[in-house]
Amino acid sequence: MDKASALIPEHKEGTETNAESRAAFENRQEALQFFAVARNRLLSVNKWHDLAGAASAEFLLTDASGNEINHLPSKGDYLRINIPAPGTKTGEGFDWVRIEAVEETDTLTAIQVRPASNPQNENSDVAHFFSEEATSSFMVRLEGNTIIAGVYGRNEKPNTSTEKLTDTIRNAAVATGAIGGFSKLQWKSLVNGLVKTG
């Protein structure tokens, strides 16, 4: 199993999402130079919305207390997500994921996240429309003279284990939309932005 595949958890239940975009180059030197650009874009989480376009979700990198940070993402940090849909009460209007891993080699950069509770309050409910079994793996990798940006969602199921009925209903509706295609559109826009050369 290659390093990239090892960073994508096994899919067991629910749905899976795969979105990829590629940029090919004339030679290795050009590919390496652009890999550095794509890597920096991937690690600049707070700018993902700019890359993905106006209709996409907004992402904010935070520390373990939910405070905005501007350093490179690391294990234990959170992403606060503002999707173009009503938010949960538990998430105080946002969806939250926690970074479980950040991996880097000379030809690969990857971030893996999982739905999490809101670090800004005491509620232990997962504040995301997917349950905590779900993961998303974001990566850019260099294969030959081609840069591949990908987002790989695994074990995606609606989060209906919440204390608030309104959150349960909201999560079921948003997750159904995500499974029905919204997630794929969101991630395709992001991976296109990660490898955009023009």
pLDDT in tens, 143-157: 999 999 999 999 999
* Amino acid identity at 173: A
* Euclidean distance between CA atoms 73 and 187, whole angstroms: 19
Per-residue confidence (pLDDT) for residue 52, from 0 to 100: 95
Q: What is the pLDDT of residue 78?
A: 98
What are the tokens at 46?
């707070």
- Note the pLDDT tens digit of each residue in 142-197: 999 999 999 999 999 999 988 888 888 888 888 887 766 677 889 999 999 999 99
Instruction: Name the residue ranges covered by the structural domains of the chain.
Output: 3-194
> Per-residue confidence at 5, pLDDT binned at 50, 70, 90?
confident
DSSP 126: B
Q: Does position 140 have pLDDT exceeding 80, yes or no? A: yes
- 167: nearest Cα among 104, 118, 102, 120: 118
Say whether pLDDT at 141 is over 80. yes
pLDDT at 86 over 80: no
Distance, CA of 153 to CA of 190 (rounded, Å): 14
Mean local confidence (pLDDT), 108-119: 97
Lay out the sheet containing 135-143: strands in order across.
15-24, 146-156, 135-143, 108-115, 95-105, 78-82, 58-62
The confidence score (pLDDT) of residue 67 equals 97
Q: Is 101 helix (H, G, I), strand (E, B) or coil?
A: strand
Average pLDDT, the chain: 92
Closest to 121 in 3D by CA, of 144, 150, 89, 152 = 89
pLDDT at site 84: 81
Q: What is the pTM of this model?
A: 0.92
Overall average pLDDT of the 13-32 stretch: 96
The fold of 3-194 is Alpha-D-Glucose-1,6-Bisphosphate; Chain A, domain 4 (3.30.530)
Of 4-8, 39-43, 52-56, 84-88, where does the model show the most confidence?
A: 39-43
